[in-house]
Amino acid sequence: MFSMSTPRASMRIVTDHVPDERLAEYSKGLLEEPRLGEVEEHLLVCERCRVRLTEFDNEWGLNG
């Protein structure tokens, strides 16, 4: 039986997103702990922010 009290990470609903300014800093390698870890953890569960990060990486020429 599935319990709502123990959600799986893959089923987690993300309602808050990393601000663009912070994603840009992450993309440029400017973040330090604890914010670095917070952003990385969020990116594991949020496709929208991963897509936005890719856009920043492309803007800075970091994707090859």
User: What are the structural domain ranges in the chain?
Assistant: 19-59
14 is written with which tokens?
């993300």
Q: For position 15, what pLDDT does the model report?
A: 76
pTM, rounded to two decimals: 0.72
Query: Which parts of the chain sit beneath pLDDT 50?
Result: 1-9
Question: What per-residue confidence (pLDDT) applies to 52?
Answer: 96
Q: Which H/E stretch holds residue 23?
A: helix 20-27
Backbone dihedral angles phi then psi of residue 51, each to the nearest 5 degrees: -65, -45
Q: What integer pLDDT is reported at residue 43 of this predicted model?
A: 96
Q: Which amino acid is at 49?
A: C
Q: What is the pLDDT of residue 27?
A: 94
